[in-house]
Structure 1
Amino acid sequence: MHQGAHGVHPATGFEGKASQDDRLLQTRRKIVKPILSLLLSLVLIQSARAEALVLAAGSIPSDARDNLGDTVGGLGSGIAHDPETGLFFCIPDRGAGDGTIDFRPRYIKVRLDLEGDDLNPQVVESVLFRDEQGREMSGLIPDDPKSEIPKLKDGRTCLDPEAIATAPDGTLYVTDEYGPLLYQFARDGKMIQRIELPEMFRPRRADGQVDFTNTDKLVHGRAVNQGPEGMCLLPDGKSVVLIFQSGLMQEGASKSPTTNLLILDLETGKPTALYAYPFSKVVPETNEPQDLDKVSVNDLAALSQTRLLVLERDNRGRNGSLDYPAARNKAVWIADLSMATNILDHGSAATARPVAKTLLFNLPSIVPDPKRLAAKWEGIVIVPPLHPSMVTVVMTADNDFLTPILHIGGKEVPFPRAQDSVESQFFKIRASLPEKP
C-alpha cells in the first residue's frame, strides 16, 4: 500500500495566509520562483547576513504503510536525492522501541513535488538492506559478545542506519551507529562492502573488550546511540565525510564541547582528515544557554570540498507526549574546514583549531508555528537549482514511529509511548549564503 499526504497545513501549522513580510518579499522576488503560491506562509530571517525562507512543506501520516505492509516511520533519520529518478532516499533508523523490536532496516524511496508549495510526499517503495550473503539485517541491539561486528546470536547482522548518500556510480553509502561502521550497498539493498572506522571510534569496556550493546560500561569509542549520525559525499565523489552525534567516551561523550568530523577516502577506506566540530553553547538567535548534552549533530550536506551544511538540534519538540517543550534549536550551520586543524596530522582535539561555523538559519524561526515541529530533525540534502550565492535544501524529521499501533513484520504492535501521533515532516527551504570572510 503506497500512501502519502496532500495537506501541508495540518502538519506544519501554516494557515495559508500571506506573510506579514509581503513588502519585504516584493524586493526579493529573485530569491523565489515567480510562480510560487503565497498560500504557503513565507517568513524571512536575517542571520549572519543570510536570508532563509520556507518554499514548501508536506508530511506523511504516522499510520502510513509501505509496500512491505510495515509502518512508515523514522524515515527522517537520513535523506539523499537521486538525480537520475528525482526520488528521495530516506532511511528509518533501527526501528521503533530503541532497538527492542525486530525491525528490518531499509531505505524508502519517496517522491516529493519540488515545483509547488505542497511537497505532497508519496511513499514509492521500501528496499530492505541485506548482508554479503543476502540475508536480511536486523535493527535489534546486538547480543553476540563474540562477534567483531554487530550481530545477533542467530547470525544476523545488526544495523542502526543514520545517514545515507548516493555515489556517482549509483551505489548507496549508509552509516551504522552500532559499529560504528560505513556500509556500501547496491540499489537493491545488497551489501557491497563494510568499511571499518579508526580504532578511536570502536566501543570498548575498561577490560578492552569490544561491546556493541547499549551498555553503561563503555569507556572508549562512540557513546551509546551517539555514533556517525551525519554523512555526505564531497563534490569530487572521492571522499565521504562523517560526523558523530556527540564526543567519544574518552572525550567526555555528550559533555564534550566538540565532536569528530571524519573524512575517508572512498577508494581505500582510509581516513584522510579528522576535525573538531564545536557545539553551540547557546540557542541560535536568542542566545539562551543550552546544555551540551541537550544538543547534537544530525546530518551533513556538502556545499564544496571545504564547506558543509551541518544540521544541529536540541531534543525539544513533538516527541509522543501530550506535554512537550516547543522546539528552539533546529539549526543549519555552514562549517568551514579550510582553516581547521587536521588532527590526524597535528595533535588532539583539545589543542586543535576547530571548524569555523556560521549560522545559516534556525528552523523554529522561519516557520509560523514552531510548536508543531517534531523533535528529531535529522535529515538534510541539497537540491537544484544550484547557485553560488544561495542554497536550496530539503529537510526531514525522524518521527520515531510515533503512532499508537505499529505494523511490523505482519504483526500489530501497540506503541503506548505514542500519546501524540507525529507525522513525518518535510520542508523545502531556500537560503542566501553569506559571503566568505
Structure 2
Amino acid sequence: MKPVFSLLLSLALLPSARADSVVLASGSIPSAAVDNLGDTVGGLGSGIAHDPESGLFFCIPDRGAGDGTIDFRPRYVKVRLDLQGDDLNPQIVEAVLFRDEEGREMSGLIPDDPESEIPRLKDGRTCLDPEAIAIAPDGTLYVTDEYGPLLYQFARDGKMIRRIELPEMFRPRRANGKMDFTNTEKLVHGRAVNQGPEGMCLLPDGKSAALIFQSGLMQDGAHKSPTTNLLILDLASGKPTALYAYPFSTVVPETSELQDIDSVSVNDLAALSDTRLLVLERDNRGRNGSLDYPVARNKAVWIADLSMATNILDHGSAATARPVAKTLLFNLPAIVPDPKRLAAKWEGIVIVPPLHPSAVTLVMTADNDFLAPVLHIGGKDIPFPRAQDKVESQFFKIRASLPEKP
C-alpha cells in the first residue's frame, strides 16, 4: 500500500490538458546590450509584469552576475514588445534602480552584516535578490526578495514604500537560532540557499498576492522535498491567509521519463482566477554558457487548482494534506521550432490581452544569467569566462487553449 502522501500526490497530478498551444511570436535581446545606466542587460527573465497603462513590460534581473559576488545595483527594466506580429522585437526603454526607504541604492551582493535582522551589508546598504514582480491596481510594484525572504512594495521611481516580512517558517536560521542571510550551507531552517520566493503574482481582485518558493524549506528536506510552499498574503495587512503544498512533477512532461525532484524548480506564477494559477516549472537543462550543454526537456506551464487543496497555514502538514491539483498546459520544448536554442532558466510568465474564457495568451521570458564574455557593470569591464556561449535574453508569446474546469 502506498504511503498517504503518495496517494494524495497521485491525485494531485491530473492528466495533461492536451491543450492546443502555439508560439505566436518570439524575440531576443543580445547578451552584449546595455541599459540607460550603462550596465549590461542580463537576467531579465527573473520576473516579468505587463503594465496595461503604457503597454510596456517590466522585467527584473536578479542580484546580478557572479551569484552575488559582483556589486550589481538591483533594478527593473522597462521593455517594449511588439505583440502584433511574429517578431516581438524587444526594445529596452529604461532601467529604474530600486532604492531603500531612505533613498539609498540597494545592492545584489550577498549580505555580510551578521547583526542585521534584514539582509544588509556592513556599509548599511540593503541587499536585494529580486525574483518576481507584479503591478498593483494603484500602479505600485511588488517585488519578491530571495535573501530575506521578503516581499517589497516600491513606487514606480524605484523607492521602497514598505517591506513585508514572511512567516517565521521561511526565515533562514542556523541550528543555534541565529538568522543567517549569507547563503551558508549551515542553515537548518527556512528557505534553502538561493531557493526563495521565485514566483509571485497578484490575484485578480488586487488585494492578495500568491508567492511560491523554488524548492522545499530546510526543515522539510529542501531540494529533496516532494512539495514546495504556495503562500497567499493579504496585501493590506501583510498577513498570510493560506498556505498550500504544491507537488513537484516526478516525470518529464508528456513523457514517461522519470526526473529527480531535486533537479526541478518552480519559477513563476500568473493568475487565471483566485483559485487557478499558472505555474512555471523547469529543469536546469538548456543553454547555460557552456558550449556543451544538455538540451532543455522540462520548461512546463501547469494549471494549479487550489480549490480542493488543504490550507495548512494554521494546522496540518504537507505530508498529510491534500496538495494543489495540477494539469499540464504545455511544455515549451515541445512547441518551439528548435528546443536546442532554449536557455536553461525560463523564469518569467505573464498573461497578456486578449483575455478569453477558453484560452490564454502569455509572454514567457528566460534569465540568461548575464552570459556575456565581458560585463559592463558600475563603469567597469569585467571578464566573465563562464560565458563561452553568449546567451541572449529570450522571449516568447504563446497562446494556449484552456481545459474545461473539472
| TM-score range relative to shorter protein | over 0.9
Q: Does 1:163 align with 2:121?
A: no
Question: What per-residue deviation string (whole Å, max 9, x for no partner) do you get for residues 355-388 of structure 1?
Answer: 0000000000001110100000000000000000
Letter in 1 for 2:307: S
Contact 1:203 1:210 in 2 (8 A): yes
**1: CA distance, partners of 2:139 / 2:262:** 37
Aligned to 2:289: 320
Deviation at 1:47, TM superposition (A): 4.6
- Counterpart residue number, 1:88: 57
1:238 counterpart (207, 223, 226): 207
Which residue of structure 1 lines up, in the alignment, with residue 93 of structure 2? 124
Residue 12 (structure 1) aligns with: none
1:348 aligns with 2:348: no
Distance in 1 between residues matched to 2:132 and 2:17, nearest whole Å = 28
Instruction: Tell me if 1:104 matches 2:73.
Output: yes
Distance 1:161 1:287 in 2: 35
Over residues 165-197 of structure 1, what are the superposed CA-to-partner deviations in whole Å (9 max), with x where a residue is unaligned?
A: 000000000000000000000000000000000
Task: State the AA in 1 paired with 2:54.
Answer: T
Give the C-alpha shift of residue 287 in structure 1.
2.1
Amino acid in the other structure paired with 2:386 = R
Counterpart of 2:112 in structure 1 is 143
Identify which of 307, 326, 334 aligns with 1:357: 326
- Superposed, 1:397-408 pairs within 5 Å as 397-408=366-377
| Distance (whole Å) between structure 1 residues aligned to residue 68 and residue 315 of structure 2 | 38
2:255 & 2:342 partners in 1: Cα distance? 18
C-alpha separation between the residues in 1 aligned to 2:307 and 2:278?
A: 14
Q: Does the alignment pair 1:329 with 2:294?
A: no
How far is the alpha carbon of 1:235 from its aligned partner?
0.1
Offset, 1:269: 0.2
Q: Provide Cα deviations, 1:191-221, integer angstroms capped at 9, x if missing partner.
A: 0000000000000000000000010100000
Q: Give the aligned partner of residue 227 of structure 1.
A: 196
Match in the other structure for 1:189: 158
The percentage of aligned residue pairs carrying the same residue is 89
Post-superposition CA distance 1:288-337 (Å, at most 9, x none):
11111100000000000000000000000000000000000000000000
The one-letter code sitting in structure 1 at the alignment partner of 2:70 is I
- Residues 54, 367 of structure 1: 8 Å contact kept: yes
Q: Is the 8 A contact 1:104 1:138 kept in 2?
A: yes
Aligned to 2:343: 374
Letter in 1 for 2:284: N
Residues 370-417 of structure 1: CA deviation (Å, up to 9, x unaligned): 010000000000000000000000000000000000000110000000
After superposition, give the CA deviation of every residue in 1:52-93 in whole Å (9 maximum; x if it has no partner).
Answer: 000000000000000000000001000000000000000000
Name the SS for the 1:205 alignment partner: coil
1:30 maps to none
Q: What are the residue-to-residue correspondences of 1:420-431 with 2, within 5 Å? A: 420-431=389-400
Given that 1:90 and 1:107 are in contact with CA atoms closer than 8 Å, whether structure 2 keeps it comes out as: yes
Aligned to 1:257: 226
Cα offset for 1:49? Answer: 3.3
The partner residue of 1:213 within 163, 178, 182 is: 182
Structure 1 residue 54 corresponds to structure 2 residue 32: no
Structure 2 match to 1:269: 238
Alignment partner of 2:40 out of 71, 74, 83: 71
**Which amino acid in structure 1 is aligned with residue 72 of structure 2?**
F
Asked if structure 2 preserves the Cα contact closer than 8 Å seen for 1:346 and 1:352, the reply is no
Residue deviations 1:208-243 (CA, integer Å, cap 9, x gap): 000000101000000000000000000011000000
- Would the aligned equivalents of 1:138 and 1:158 in 2 still touch at CA under 8 Å? yes
Equivalent residue, structure 2, for 1:39: none
- TM-superposed CA distance for 1:124, in Å, is 0.2
Q: What is the Cα deviation at residue 346 of structure 1?
A: 3.5
Partners in 2 of 1:416 and 1:49 — Cα distance?
42
Q: 1:180 aligns with which of 149, 155, 164?
A: 149
Note the residue ranges of structure 1 that are not aligned, 5 or more in a row: 1-45
SS of the counterpart of 1:218? Answer: coil
Q: Point out where structure 2 has 5 or more consecutive residues left out of the alignment.
A: 1-14
Paired letter, 1:292: I
Which of the residues 300, 303, 306 maps onto 2:269?
300
1:281 aligned residue: 250
What is the CA–CA distance in structure 2 between the aligned matches of 1:337 and 1:101, rounded to whole Å?
A: 39
CA distance in 2 between counterparts of 1:197 and 1:344 reads: 12
3-state DSSP of counterpart to 1:357: strand
CA distance in 2, matches of 1:280, 1:318: 22
1:302 is matched by which residue type in structure 2?
A
Q: Does the CA-based 8 Å contact 1:229-1:298 persist in structure 2?
A: yes
Is the partner of 2:188 in helix, strand or coil?
strand
Shift of 1:286: 1.3
CA RMSD of aligned residues (A): 0.8
* Equivalent position SS for 1:50: coil
Q: 1:416 aligns with which of 372, 385, 396?
A: 385
Mapped partners of 2:395, 2:156: distance in 1: 23
2: distance between equivalents of 1:268 and 1:201?
Answer: 18
CA distance in 1, matches of 2:255, 2:295: 14
Question: Per-residue deviation at 1:50?
Answer: 1.0
Describe the SS at the equivalent of 1:325: coil
Which residue of 2 is the match for residue 290 of structure 1? 259
